[in-house]
Structure 1
Amino acid sequence: MTEAHRRLKQPEFTRSQLLAVVRELLVRDGTHAVTLEAVAQRARVTKGGLQHHFRSKQALLDALSDQLFEEFQQSYETAYSQEADTPGRHARAYLRTCFDSGSGCNQVETQRAIGLLALSSPQCRERWHATMQTALQADGNDPRTADLLLACRMAGDGFWFSQMLGTFTLDDAQRERILNLLLELCDGATP
């Protein structure tokens, strides 16, 4: 009897382990490195065991995309719930999510996985686009206000991508000052 047959069956743990391996392979070597064989071998499961949970490479990548999207949404919802119910609330919560270094979705490896999936998966891009379009609707109808809040969000994205790519080295104090500057811009954008 093989080790796989003697192992206690824990489907949620196995799925989680498989997705962690996919994330690691994706970040380390790119989407081409994510194969059923590589994931199964690294996770120490049979290819059939892997396919019991995920039928294809695309199913693996889609499940990882779902997981990363949910992590981001949870961080965003936490930030949103802590913001005062005033104009610009959505943009401020988005910025806090982008700058939250304690958040799982802002760990460099996770940022890179999200970036790689967004670049390689039209479905992933569309999901992020639809979510952001919905969030922008909360900024109101005044073009100046909406444009300034969008510019603040785009600055948050730029910060996020610069951290992912290692473009700028910021200490905690500088990171906090930049976040506060953007939050002030959000507050100044609203009437």
Structure 2
Amino acid sequence: MVNAYQRKKDPEHIRKLILENTMILAAEKGVSGVSIQTVAEMAGVTKGGVFHHFPNKKALLEAMLHFVMSQIDAETEKLICADTESYGCFTRAYIEITLNANATAVSRYWDAISMTMLTEPDLNAIWAQWLEKRLSIHADTDQSLQLKILRYAADGVWLTGFAEMKLTEDFIKMKQELISRTYPASSQSFNGL
């Protein structure tokens, strides 16, 4: 580990490192597991170094959420751009990100945002604003009640998977089934759920 006092100053890199480590703690332990001291140790900076960028824990958590949401937004956009079907494109991206079972950055981002929302309801406004903005952008393609139900179902599958702390074949099958129901032809037979 590099001595925090001798490292070349790179405030943007340090800020990002602090936010990434905050995200890791939030994903693993929820908001209560995030302490300034632990974040500082993980980022290889002093506690004062954390306070230099964020005046308190609340500001750190808010900045972490904005950071996470920007990463999720970029991944959502990438998935939407790669989608060949416009109907339900946001919902498919949402399900893909929500139920990303791989140990990727996206799944860590989703875990961090979800754990924060579960353990710190005061910060839900950041998430709600993002979702509202996305739904507004995709009003023509993703406003149907069927697609809304599928997004809620994905949230429920994620929560069940989180509570069980293991991924099962059923988890993967549910993800595939939810995504398959986002296409226009399947919306016709949605009543057969």
Q: TM-score, normalised by structure 1?
A: 0.76
Counterparts of 1:144-183 in structure 2, within 5 Å, are 146-166=144-164, 169-171=167-169, 174-183=170-179
Give unmatched runs, 5+ long, in structure 1. Answer: none
Q: Distance in 1 between matches of 2:57 and 2:41?
A: 14
Q: Does 1:105 align with 2:103?
A: no
- Counterpart of 1:76? 76
- Counterpart of 2:26? 26
Larger Rg over CA atoms? 1
SS at match of 1:181: helix
CA contact (8 A) 2:87 2:141 kept: no
CA contact (8 A) 2:40 2:50 kept: yes
What is the root-mean-square deviation of aligned Cα atoms in Å? 3.0
Q: TM-score, normalised by structure 2?
A: 0.75
Give 1:156 shift: 1.5
Give unmatched runs, 5+ long, in structure 2. Answer: none
Residue type at the aligned position of 1:162? T
Give 1:153 shift: 0.9
Report percent identity of matched pairs. Answer: 24
Q: Distance in 2 between matches of 1:97 and 1:44?
A: 30
Change (3 A) 1:26 1:94: closer
Q: How many residues align?
A: 182
Q: Distance in 2 between matches of 1:141 and 1:77?
A: 14
- Counterpart of 2:46? 46
- Counterpart of 2:66? 66
Once the two structures are overlaid, the 10-residue window that deviates more, 69-78 or 41-50, is: 41-50
SS at match of 1:163: helix
Residues 45-86 of structure 1 show CA distances to partners (whole Å, capped at 9, x for unaligned) of 233222221111112111111121122112211111111243
